[in-house]
Amino acid sequence: MMAWMTQDHPIFTESIRRIRIALGETGLPFLEQQVLERLVHSSGDLFLGALLRFSDGACERGLEALQQGAPILTDTAMAAAAVAPMAQRSLGSEVHTVLKWAPEAAPPRSTRTAAGMEQAWRILGQQSPPPVVLIGSAPTALEVLMQQVALGAPAPSLVIGMPVGFVGVAESKAHLAASGLDQIRLEGTRGGAGLVAAAVNALLRASV
């Protein structure tokens, strides 16, 4: 364990202790438990566990990819900012946002994040291992990623799919569930930049 992890703020340590007591025995494997605890800590919602889904071995494969140098690709600058400090302190993972590749204006019948994802994946998807992808706000970007994979592009090492909202969100999560991709998913309308960051930060903490 790295030295900084032995110096967690007492409030964080006490929060996690109380969360574990409140959650009780979940039966989750270690990494999945870590993700759940960080999500609850970030949201203050002890009931998120009922919405949380993991594909088999997703956390382990995502962690392995990060340890092998996989970059992290987010749909928003907010998510990237929330991940960057932990990425730097742990593995030094590169953190990108699709907005780096997005046009200044949204294309007709699309969004800037969707267009950015299409361009970003043409470049970052060729890396080995491919990026861990975080979607907390943009179901359109998630849809574009899945479409590209269906057309033969490399699959991401892990998708953390937690877009928040009411338009296109349920559909994108259903498509992700059926995609066969390694994934951590939050059902329903809940999600957001803070939650996808919390999930990958749990893996980053466990990586060292």
Among 9, 41, 96, 175, the active-site one is 41
Which two tokens mark 144?
């574009």
Q: What is the C-alpha to C-alpha distance for residues 113 and 91, in angstroms, rounded to an integer?
A: 26
Q: What is the C-alpha to C-alpha distance for residues 39 and 111, in angstroms, rounded to an integer?
A: 27
Which uninterrupted H or E stretch holds 161?
strand 158-161
Helix (H, G, I), strand (E, B) or coil at 79: helix
Kindly give, in sequence order, each residue whose CB lies less than 8 Å from that of residue 87, ignoring residues fewer than 6 positions away.
72, 93, 94, 95, 204
**Other Cβ atoms closer than 10 A to 118:** 20
41 carries an active-site annotation: yes
In terms of Cα–Cα distance, which of 111, 46, 107, 110 is closest to 76?
111
Catalytic residues: 41
